[in-house]
Amino acid sequence: MSTTTPRETSSRTDTSSLNPDALGHVDTAVENRSEKDMINISKEATESLKSKVKGQIVLPSDSNYDEVREIWNAMIERRPALIVRCAAADDVPPAISFACENGLEISIRGAGHNIAGNALSDNGVMIDFSTMRNVRVDAEKKRAYVEPGATLADFDEAAQSHGLATPVGINSTTGIAGLTLGGGFGWLTRKYGMTVDNLISVDVVTADGKQLRASENENADLFWAIRGGGGNFGVVTQFEFNLHGVGPEILAGLIVFPFDQAKQVLTQYREFVESAPEELNVWALLRKAPPLPFLPVDVHGKEVVVLVTFYIGDAAQGRKLIEPLLRFGTPHGEHIGAQPYTQWQKAFDPLLTPGARNYWKSHNFTELSDGALNSMIEFAGKLPSPQCEIFIGLIAGAANRVPADAMAYRHRDAKFVLNVHGRWDERTDDERCIAWARAFFQASAPYASDGAYVNFMTEEESDRVSAAYGANYDRLAQIKKQYDPDNLFHLNQNIKPSPRGLIGDRGLREQRQMISRR
Ligand SMILES: Cc1cc2nc3c(=O)[nH]c(=O)nc-3n(C[C@H](O)[C@H](O)[C@H](O)COP(=O)(O)OP(=O)(O)OC[C@H]3O[C@@H](n4cnc5c(N)ncnc54)[C@H](O)[C@@H]3O)c2cc1C
C-alpha cells in the first residue's frame, strides 16, 4: 500500500492539480492535442504504480484497453490515460496517489452501467473493479459481503443459493456498487425497502488514502453520507448487506394490453396498488411490443401498455391477487408463472443490452394524477424509436417508513419512480430521441414530487443534484468537506465540499464566485 496520500501530495505539488476546475483546463488542453500525444505519464511513474498494485495496469496501447474501458451507454466515448484493474482493496490507495501525483482526475467503475458515464473520463485514472466480483454469503447471519465489481446477477446467484435476497434493480448486469450508492430499488423494494436500507457496513478508501469501515457504529457520519451520496465520499471496496428469505421460486410475468386501453388500465392500476399487499409489486410499462411468443404477431412493434407483476409468497395466493389485473382491459396476452427469482431478475436483460445509445430522464411521484397519466400516454403515443419506453416503478411500502433524514437518500415520500428511457442505435437519431425524452420530462414535471433519483440522472443534470438531496444537502456538503475537502471524487453527481463552513445554496454560490475569481 502506498504511503503517499493525496493531501500529502497536494502539499508538494501545485494544489490546483487537485481542483476539478483546474483539471477541467488540463482536459481542454489535452483534447486539443493529437491522440498520440494525449497521454503524458512517464514510464517510470507507471512502472512504480505497477510495483505497488496486485491488479493489472491497462494503458491505451494495450490490446484489451477498448474492452476494459467499455461501459453500458454507447453514447459515452472517453479515453482514460490509465486503468487500474484492482485485484484487492489495497490497490486503491496507490491508484489514488498516482492520480494525484500526476494531476489526473479519478473515475470509479463498478459495472459501468451509469447513464451519465461517470465511470470514464478523458485522460484520467479509472479505478476499475470489474475483476473484483466476489460475493460471500453468511447464511446463518443472513449477511452478504460483496466486492465492488459484482453485478446484480453475481449477488442474486450467491444469495439465492441459500434462498436469500435483498432488494436490487431489475437488470442483472447492473453493478451493485453504483446502484447501492445512489439508493437502489427493484421488485423487492415494496417489502424490504431500498437497497441502501439493507446496507449494514462498507469498507471505504477515503481521499487521504485511509481504509475505513463505516457503519451505524463506526464513522457513522460517513455511513450516513454514503447511503445515497454516490461516489462522492470515497472508494468502496466492500459492501455488507442484510438478506431476507426470498423464493427460490416467485410468481411473476407480464400482462399486455392494447394501447387504446391505456387510460382505463392505468387508472385502475393506480387504484389497485393503493391497497395491494407489499409482497405484490406491479410496474407499468408503455412501449412498442417486443416479438414475445405469447403475443399475436400483428401486435409486435405496436404500442402497448404492460403490467409487470411480481409476487413473493404462495403462488396460488399470488395468482388470486393478480387475477383482477387481467380485467383492467382486454389483454393481447399474458404470461405469468412461477419461476426462479434469479431467472426473473434476468427477464429484462434482452431489452437492456449494452452497446445502444441511451438518454434518460426521471421523476418521482407521490401519486399518479390524471395529468401525469395523460402525459405518459401522449408521449408513449409518439415513441421516437422501437426501444424507447416509459416505465413507472412502484416503490411504495417499506421505503416510505424510513425517515427522510435517516441517510443521504431522502425520497421517502416517493411511491412511484418514472423513467423516461430513451434508447436507440444510430448516432443520427440522437437529436430526435433526446428531444422526445426532454419534452416528456417537461410535460410530466408539473405532476411530479420534488427531488430526483441520482442513479437515473444524466451528466447534464448537475443542476438537479441539490434538489436530489434537498434538506440533506447541507449535511452532505459538510461531510464532503471533512472526507474529501479537495473534491478529488468529483466525477459523479457531485456534492461540493462546504467552503469555509458555508453551507447550502449560499455556500455554493460563494464557492462558484471564488472559483471564477481564480
Ligand atoms: C439497464 C439499467 C437498468 C437499471 N435498473 C435500475 C433499477 O432497477 N433500480 C435502480 O435503482 N437503478 C437502476 N439502474 C440505475 C443504476 O442503479 C445506476 O446506473 C448505477 O450507477 C449503476 O451502477 P454501476 O456500478 O453499474 O455503475 P458505474 O457506472 O460503474 O458507476 C456509477 C458511479 O458510481 C460510483 N461508484 C461505482 N463504484 C464505486 C465504488 N466502488 N466506490 C465509490 N463509488 C463508486 C462512481 O461515481 C461511478 O461513476 C439501472 C441502470 C441501467 C443501465
Whether the per-residue pLDDT at 479 is higher than 80: the answer is yes
Q: What percent of the chain shows pLDDT beyond 70?
A: 89
What is the number of other CB atoms lying within 10 angstroms of the CB of residue 210?
Answer: 12
Mutation to probe ligand 1, out of 114, 126, 281, 487 (largest number of atoms < 8 A from CB): 114
Q: Does residue 507 lie in a domain region?
A: no
Alpha helices of 33-147 — where are they, by DSSP H?
43-52, 65-68, 92-101
Residues with CB under 6 A from ligand 1: 72, 108-115, 118-119, 129, 148, 169-171, 174-175, 177-179, 181-182, 184-186, 230-231, 235-236, 352, 455, 491-492
**Ligand 1 mean position, distance from CA 152 (Å):** 10
Instruction: Report residue 128 as a C-alpha cell.
Output: 476499475
Domain boundary among 109, 128, 147: 128
**Ligand 1 mean position, distance from CA 112 (Å):** 7
Confidence of residue 295 (pLDDT cuts 50, 70, 90): very high
**Ligand 1 mean position, distance from CA 133 (Å):** 15
Confidence of residue 504 (pLDDT cuts 50, 70, 90): very low
The per-residue pLDDT for 209 is: 95
Whether the per-residue pLDDT at 28 is higher than 70: the answer is no
**Ligand 1 mean position, distance from CA 175 (Å):** 5
Q: Starting at the edge strand that comes first in sequence, how are the strands of the sheet with 303-311 ordered?
A: 333-340, 249-258, 303-311, 280-288, 389-394, 416-424, 357-365
Whether the per-residue pLDDT at 3 is higher than 60: the answer is no
The per-residue pLDDT for 24 is: 28
Distance of CA 282 to the CA centre of its chain: 21
> Which residues form the domain of 41?
6-128
CA Rg value for the chain: 23
Overall size of the chain counted in residues:
518
Whether the per-residue pLDDT at 37 is higher than 80: the answer is no
Confidence of residue 501 (pLDDT cuts 50, 70, 90): very low
Q: What percent of the chain shows pLDDT beyond 90?
A: 85
Q: Does residue 214 lie in a domain region?
A: no
Whether the per-residue pLDDT at 513 is higher than 50: the answer is no
| Residue having the nearest C-alpha atom to atom 11 of ligand 1 | 184
| Residue having the nearest C-alpha atom to atom 9 of ligand 1 | 169
Q: Does residue 259 lie in a domain region?
A: yes
**Ligand 1 mean position, distance from CA 279 (Å):** 25
Domain boundary among 128, 152, 183: 128
Whether the per-residue pLDDT at 517 is higher than 50: the answer is no
E strand map for 26-175: 56-58, 82-85, 106-109, 125-128, 135-138, 143-146, 164-165
How many domains does the chain fold into?
A: 2
Q: Say whether 68 sits in a helix, a strand or coil.
A: helix
What DSSP string describes 452-509? --GGG--GGGGGGHHHHHGGGHHHHHHHHHHH-TT----SSSPPPPPGGG--HHHHHH
Phi, psi of 129 (to 5 degrees): -105, 15
Q: Does residue 168 lie in a domain region?
A: no
Domain shared by 304 and 445, yes or no: yes
Q: What is the mean pLDDT of the chain?
A: 89
Measured torsion, CA atoms of residues 32, 36, 39, 40, in degrees rounded to the nearest 10: -90
The per-residue pLDDT for 451 is: 80
The per-residue pLDDT for 38 is: 57
Q: Does residue 74 lie in a domain region?
A: yes
**Ligand 1 mean position, distance from CA 402 (Å):** 22
Q: Say whether 398 sits in a helix, a strand or coil.
A: helix
Mutation to probe ligand 1, out of 108, 118, 176, 364 (largest number of atoms < 8 A from CB): 108
Atom of ligand 1 nearest to the CA of 119: 49
Atom of ligand 1 nearest to the CA of 176: 25
* Measured CA angle at 178 (ends 56, 214), to 5 deg: 90
Per-residue model confidence as pLDDT tens digits over 183-239: 999 999 999 999 999 999 999 999 999 999 999 999 999 999 999 999 999 999 999
Per-residue model confidence as pLDDT tens digits over 113-122: 999 999 999 9
Per-residue model confidence as pLDDT tens digits over 444-478: 999 999 888 999 998 778 788 988 999 999 999 99
* CATH number of the domain encompassing residue 102: 3.30.43.10
Q: Does residue 492 lie in a domain region?
A: no
Q: Which H or E run includes 393?
A: strand 389-394
Atom of ligand 1 nearest to the CA of 358: 53
Look at 18-22, 37-41, 91-95, 97-101 and tell me which has the smallest mean pLDDT: 18-22
* CATH number of the domain encompassing residue 318: 3.40.462.20
Instruction: Report residue 145 as a C-alpha cell.
Output: 459481503
* Measured CA angle at 130 (ends 56, 486), to 5 deg: 80
Confidence of residue 39 (pLDDT cuts 50, 70, 90): low
Q: Does residue 239 lie in a domain region?
A: no
The per-residue pLDDT for 111 is: 97
**Ligand 1 mean position, distance from CA 506 (Å):** 30
Domain shared by 444 and 297, yes or no: yes
Domain shared by 397 and 258, yes or no: yes
Q: Does residue 91 lie in a domain region?
A: yes
| Residue having the nearest C-alpha atom to atom 2 of ligand 1 | 171
Whether the per-residue pLDDT at 7 is higher than 60: the answer is no
Distance between CA 424 and CA 439 in Å, rounded? 17
Atom of ligand 1 nearest to the CA of 168: 9
Domain boundary among 462, 479, 498: 462
Mutation to probe ligand 1, out of 121, 389, 455 (largest number of atoms < 8 A from CB): 455
Phi, psi of 83 (to 5 degrees): -120, 130
Confidence of residue 136 (pLDDT cuts 50, 70, 90): very high
Distance between CA 261 and CA 331 in Å, rounded? 9
| Residue having the nearest C-alpha atom to atom 6 of ligand 1 | 169
**Ligand 1 mean position, distance from CA 117 (Å):** 9
| Residue having the nearest C-alpha atom to atom 41 of ligand 1 | 236
Domain shared by 264 and 119, yes or no: no
Look at 28-32, 93-97, 386-390, 393-397 and tell me which has the smallest mean pLDDT: 28-32
The per-residue pLDDT for 443 is: 96
